[in-house]
Chain A
Amino acid sequence: MIELKGLTKRFGNVTAVNDLSFTVREGEIFGLLGENGAGKTTTLRMLATMLKPTSGTARLAGIDIVESPEEVRGRVGILFGGESGLYDRLTVYENIQYFGELNDMPVREIKKRIQELADAFGMNDFLDKRAGKLSKGMRQKASFARAIVHNPDVLLLDEPTSGLDVGAMREVQAFLIDQKKAGKTILFSSHTMSEVEKLCDRIAVIHKGSLVDIGETEELLGKYGTQSLEELFVRLAGDGR
């Protein structure tokens, strides 16, 4: 479960995130929608304890992000972008192993977990290849595996399908559904409305750092009398366009 309580972030005079309060239930996929600069990435960065909130706080899996950031990081898996963030000069195995070690997993457990993930994602053929020599699809799988090597309770994903082709997008979506089935709580931001519609149990729309509304997709469509999520999004976060 993710619980935001008055989460606020200011950079100088600019308020990037303003008093966000909402709850993401355990085992649900929750979509965070907003235009570029609405504060989605800043919110996710605060939840991942990369940024300190100016005020307010949040609890991830019951742990406070301000009081126990290290513990929070041990319970969170992140994926910022579709297939980025791999060390090109390390093999896939070494990339995943590094994050397992950093998350305090015992060596034997890391080995076992990597084998499980390699089987699950079909990575056995390229586990010992350097990440820099992989195709985009292979990199993407390696990124997924690395993000969940420590079996986190919560997944934070910032536009995970950004820049990916249709096939790769479908892989991400399948990954998210699998993780949901495994009981993970998933908070993800996206610009692709069809994807949000397909995956999310609930959504929150934020505009200029503030929460505009939150609820199930159908519920919000009915509430605002809109036919599609795109129409709803433009109405709530489109500055009157």
Chain B
Amino acid sequence: MKWKHIMIVFKKEVKDIVRDRKTLFSSIIVPIFLMPILFLLVGRGTAKMSEEMTTNITVALTADSYSPAAQNFLKESLETQGEDITIVDPVDDPWEAINSKKAKLVVSLDRDFEDKLKALEPFTLKIYYDNSLSRSGGAVGALRSAITKLNGTIAEQRLEALGINPEILTPVVVETENVARSGDGNMMLMMLLPMIIAMLVAVGGIPAATDLVAGEKERMTFEPLLTTRPGRMSILIGKYLTIILFSFASVISTLIGMLLAFIINPSSITMGLGQIGGFTMDRGSVILCLIVTLLLGMTFSGLQLAISTYARSFKEGQTYLSMLMFVVMIPAYAIMMIMPNDIQMYMYLIPVLNTVSAFKLVLGGMTNYTGLILAVATSLVYVVLSLLIAASMFKNEKYLFRS
């Protein structure tokens, strides 16, 4: 194996792929434009959903429990509690009314609610909602809040009528203050960003890998290459470095895409669920996290090269390599919701999980050198293993000349 030969192969492969519009487009160009569109659309969708749950909450009485007095009671007591509630005309069927957007919520009252109110007895207000519709299911909270306030107002009036100070009902006054140094959208970023980076690092090199061996076999350029002076390992490493380069190029282009989304609308980066900021990162952890990520890219580049060598044709290579995406997606999604302090030690030992965990840790401003060093050590083993697999495939005549 000679470095000179490796670099000749590497430079040629990079030049070749850069001129391949198909690979360049799918690895580099698409993420730059797709990411802002994706984040902005999802962010807008989330913001719209959140708005629907908290504003213009239309509430209707059921026709069964309707009476002018009930309608008036609801209007006077619920529309004045500070929530954006509007009482609309009564409806016959709660499901139909909610689904045809006549009302977001439907309520029924005991027919004798006025008598019970006067007699200081409780009466029932039943809320009908459709949990499959966020505008309805999500609005229940606002209505409950209004009813809680109403209960408090009525209780205060009753106590005052009895000459008792209403404060007797609140022995403890609760005050809250958010002392978080980070933005409220950081949690969402901790869920999304590590998963996106790990998945891209692991699969970003697929277009290049497919082209570099399976594609060469199909175009019949592979055999002439094998008859040139360099040993197989030099050719293999040259191609391997190319795949690693394009894996990370796709990650960088995705991050550029996300940055563009952030510049256009800062909250889009957290899918509309708050702003990000106030990160405090430990430098050592950041370095170890980047090393783990690099090693993950190297591991999967080796696997991609092995799979591409096994494939007879470009199409077969594409099919096998697309399966690799699922292998990556399963662990990445499995720990998507996990927060930095919930990361278990075993997660640092498993490919993909280790990178996702390392990024969550760093974004959460936490340190766990034992976990990160373990992740680096095991990742090194995976890199060596994947390279050994690729090398054994590359040296095996059975796979190399499969046609």
Check if B8 sits within 8 Å of A85, measured CB to CB. no
Please measure, in the bound complex, the distance between the C-alpha atom of A88 and the C-alpha atom of B215, giving whole angstroms. 12
Query: Measuring CB to CB, which residues of chain B are less than 8 angstroms from any residue of chain A?
Result: 5, 8-9, 12, 15-16, 19-20, 219-221, 223-231, 397-398, 401
- What residues of B have a CB within 8 angstroms of the CB of A103 in the complex? 228-229
- What residues of B have a CB within 8 angstroms of the CB of A45 in the complex? 223, 401
Check if B8 sits within 8 Å of A49, measured CB to CB. no
**Chain B: CB-nearest residue to A76:** B227
- What residues of A have a CB within 8 angstroms of the CB of B230 in the complex? 70, 102
Check if A102 sits within 8 Å of B228, measured CB to CB. yes
Q: Which of A68-103 contact B (CB under 8 A)?
A: 70, 73-74, 76, 78, 80-81, 84-90, 94, 98-99, 101-103
- What residues of A have a CB within 8 angstroms of the CB of B225 in the complex? 102
- How far, in Å, is A72 (CB) from chain B's closest CB? 9
Please measure, in the bound complex, the distance between the C-alpha atom of A45 and the C-alpha atom of B222, giving whole angstroms. 13
Indicate if A50 sits at the interface (CB-CB under 8 A). Answer: yes
- How far, in Å, is B30 (CB) from chain A's closest CB? 19
- What residues of A have a CB within 8 angstroms of the CB of B229 in the complex? 70, 73-74, 102-104
Question: How many residues on A have C-beta within 8 angstroms of the other chain's C-beta atoms?
Answer: 31
Check if A51 sits within 8 Å of B401, measured CB to CB. yes
Check if A80 sits within 8 Å of B224, measured CB to CB. yes
Check if A49 sits within 8 Å of B227, measured CB to CB. yes
Check if B227 sits within 8 Å of A48, measured CB to CB. yes
Contacts known (A73-B228, A74-B229, A103-B228); A98 close to B223, Cβ less than 8 A: no
Please measure, in the bound complex, the distance between the C-alpha atom of A80 and the C-alpha atom of B221, giving whole angstroms. 10
**Chain B: CB-nearest residue to A86:** B221
Query: Measuring CB to CB, which residues of chain A are less than 8 angstroms from any residue of chain B?
Result: 11, 45, 48-52, 70, 73-74, 76, 78, 80-81, 84-90, 94, 98-99, 101-104, 130, 146-147
- 7 interchain residue pairs of minimum CB distance: A102-B228, A89-B19, A84-B220, A85-B224, A74-B229, A48-B227, A78-B227
- What residues of A have a CB within 8 angstroms of the CB of B220 in the complex? 80-81, 84-85
- How far, in Å, is A86 (CB) from chain B's closest CB? 7
Contacts known (A51-B397, A74-B229, A103-B228); A87 close to B221, Cβ less than 8 A: yes
Please measure, in the bound complex, the distance between the C-alpha atom of A89 and the C-alpha atom of B16, giving whole angstroms. 6
- How far, in Å, is B397 (CB) from chain A's closest CB? 5
- What residues of B have a CB within 8 angstroms of the CB of A73 in the complex? 227-229
Q: Which residue of A52, A74, A87, A130 contacts B397 across the interface (Cβ within 8 Å)?
A: A52
Check if B226 sits within 8 Å of A50, measured CB to CB. yes
**Chain B: CB-nearest residue to A104:** B229
Check if A101 sits within 8 Å of B8, measured CB to CB. yes
Check if A85 sits within 8 Å of B401, measured CB to CB. no
- How far, in Å, is B22 (CB) from chain A's closest CB? 11
Can you list 30 contacts pairing A with B, beta carbon distance less than 8 Å?
A45-B401, A48-B227, A49-B227, A50-B397, A50-B401, A70-B229, A70-B231, A78-B223, A78-B227, A80-B224, A84-B220, A85-B219, A85-B223, A86-B221, A87-B12, A87-B16, A87-B219, A87-B221, A88-B219, A89-B16, A89-B20, A90-B12, A90-B16, A94-B15, A102-B228, A102-B229, A102-B230, A103-B228, A104-B229, A146-B224
Most buried by A among B20, B223, B228, B231: B228
**Chain A: CB-nearest residue to B21:** A89
- How far, in Å, is B229 (CB) from chain A's closest CB? 5
- What residues of B have a CB within 8 angstroms of the CB of A70 in the complex? 229-231
Check if A78 sits within 8 Å of B224, measured CB to CB. yes
- What residues of A have a CB within 8 angstroms of the CB of B231 in the complex? 70
- What residues of B have a CB within 8 angstroms of the CB of A98 in the complex? 8, 12
**Chain B: CB-nearest residue to A156:** B227
- How far, in Å, is A98 (CB) from chain B's closest CB? 5
Please measure, in the bound complex, the distance between the C-alpha atom of A103 and the C-alpha atom of B225, giving whole angstroms. 10
**Chain A: CB-nearest residue to B228:** A102
- What residues of B have a CB within 8 angstroms of the CB of A78 in the complex? 223-224, 227
Please measure, in the bound complex, the distance between the C-alpha atom of A78 and the C-alpha atom of B228, giving whole angstroms. 9
Most buried by A among B5, B230, B398: B230
- What residues of A have a CB within 8 angstroms of the CB of B227 in the complex? 48-50, 73, 76, 78
Please measure, in the bound complex, the distance between the C-alpha atom of A48 and the C-alpha atom of B225, giving whole angstroms. 11
- What residues of A have a CB within 8 angstroms of the CB of B223 in the complex? 45, 50, 78, 80, 85
Please measure, in the bound complex, the distance between the C-alpha atom of A94 and the C-alpha atom of B228, giving whole angstroms. 15
**Chain B: CB-nearest residue to A98:** B12
- What residues of B have a CB within 8 angstroms of the CB of A88 in the complex? 219
Please measure, in the bound complex, the distance between the C-alpha atom of A47 and the C-alpha atom of B109, giving whole angstroms. 94
Please measure, in the bound complex, the distance between the C-alpha atom of A147 and the C-alpha atom of B228, giving whole angstroms. 10
Please measure, in the bound complex, the distance between the C-alpha atom of A101 and the C-alpha atom of B20, giving whole angstroms. 22
- What residues of B have a CB within 8 angstroms of the CB of A102 in the complex? 5, 8-9, 225, 228-230
Please measure, in the bound complex, the distance between the C-alpha atom of A84 and the C-alpha atom of B224, giving whole angstroms. 9
Please measure, in the bound complex, the distance between the C-alpha atom of A147 and the C-alpha atom of B397, giving whole angstroms. 23
- What residues of B have a CB within 8 angstroms of the CB of A94 in the complex? 12, 15
- What residues of B have a CB within 8 angstroms of the CB of A84 in the complex? 219-221
- How far, in Å, is A55 (CB) from chain B's closest CB? 15
Please measure, in the bound complex, the distance between the C-alpha atom of A88 and the C-alpha atom of B211, giving whole angstroms. 12
**Chain B: CB-nearest residue to A51:** B397
- What residues of A have a CB within 8 angstroms of the CB of B8 in the complex? 98, 101-102
